[in-house]
Structure 1
Amino acid sequence: MATQENRAGTDIDRPDGRVLAIVERGHRGALEKQFFDEFYLAAELHRQLGGLDILLRGQAVTYALNAGPPPPLRIGNRTVGTLSDPRKGLRTLIEAGVGVWAEEPGLAAVGAAHSPGRLLDGIRVAQDGELATRWTGYRMVCFL
């Protein structure tokens, strides 16, 4: 099997020494999230731990869909337009060399399983349990 390199030139088919971070819940977040979200944390983990891969599962696969930024949040008479954009965070991570997978069952649940054009560039589709078979190659597996 030929390996695939991401934009940073890192072989993302071989997890040797990397950390796998699993994100399962898509969450728009509270106002505080505009300053720090799971992908901001992921960028730091990637930098400090020497390599990170992310698996998006469940509702979190919606982050992988090619869509516009989240709309502003309206609270009473106030409009908050400074919320974090998870797709922008994913693009930044991919550019930094993070391998990002979206699990197929989650994509199927949102009608995007067989539409690779609906995914952000650099997102790979993982079959149900595919990355679990690679866990032993990772230095650590955690949930974000």
Structure 2
Amino acid sequence: MDGRVLVILDKAYRGGVETQFVDVLYFVRELNRQLGDLSRPDPRGGLDLYLAGLAVTYAFDVPPPAPIHLADLEVDTMPDPRATVRALVGEDVGVWTDAEAHERFAKKDLIPGVRTTPPAEMVLRWPLYRHVWFL
């Protein structure tokens, strides 16, 4: 984990139409890209993501959101945080969820590659990171 940054996200945004273009997980992907070149090993690292609170729902392995109907308009470009979590896992971002929040909100399966850990154990890992950022 030397040189990596830990990003902690504990708020889940429930809106949709307002975040069609950029949401917090898109921002996390861009931070990861800037912190480490994905095409080659980079000593600066990249980042890891810890989902806490309602944000653990971003890691549930469930179908994408259904389109929204506004009068005669169908909006099918809703952000899909689960698709972004899958992309982050594919980009070698370590993704963890808060085990206690996962149990509290639902015992749904997690996206493959996402791990779960209690908050106290995650806090013990903080010194291994270059920075710990809360978004």
- Superposition TM-score, scaled by structure 1 size: 0.81
Instruction: Work out the CA distance in 1 between the residues paired with 2:68 and 2:14.
Output: 10
Distance 1:83 1:28 in 2: 11
The structure 1 residue matched to 2:11, chosen from 20, 25, 50, is: 25
Equivalent residue in structure 2 for 1:131, among 122, 127, 133: 122
Partner AA of 2:113 in structure 1: G
* Aligned equivalent of 1:64: 59
Partner deviation per Cα, 1:4-57 (whole Å, 9 max, x = no partner): xxxxxxxxxxx2110111111221334231111112111111111121100000
Map of 1:1-144 to 2, 5 A cutoff? Answer: 15-50=1-36, 51-112=46-107, 118-144=109-135
**Alignment coverage as a number of residue pairs:** 126
SS state at 2:123 partner: helix
C-alpha distance in 1 between matches for 2:54 and 2:83: 17
Residue ranges of structure 1 left out of the alignment (5+ in a row): 1-14
CA distance in 1, matches of 2:19, 2:120: 30
Instruction: Give the Cα separation in 2 of the matches to 1:76 and 1:24.
Output: 33
Listed one character per residue, the Cα deviations across residues 65-122 of structure 1 (whole Å, up to 9, x for unaligned) are: 110001222334433110110010011111111000011111011231xx6xx11000
Q: Distance in 2 between matches of 1:83 and 1:65?
A: 17
TM-score (norm 2): 0.86
Q: Secondary structure of 1:129's match?
A: helix
The answer to whether the 8 A contact 2:3-2:129 is kept is: yes
Q: Letter of the aligned partner of 2:131 in structure 1?
A: M
Find the counterpart in structure 1 of residue 41 from structure 2.
none
- What is the distance in 2 between the residues matched to 1:30 and 1:121? 25
Q: Distance in 2 between matches of 1:57 and 1:82?
A: 26
* Structure 1 vs Structure 2 CA RMSD: 1.5
The one-letter code of the counterpart of 1:104 is A
Q: Distance in 2 between matches of 1:75 and 1:43?
A: 30
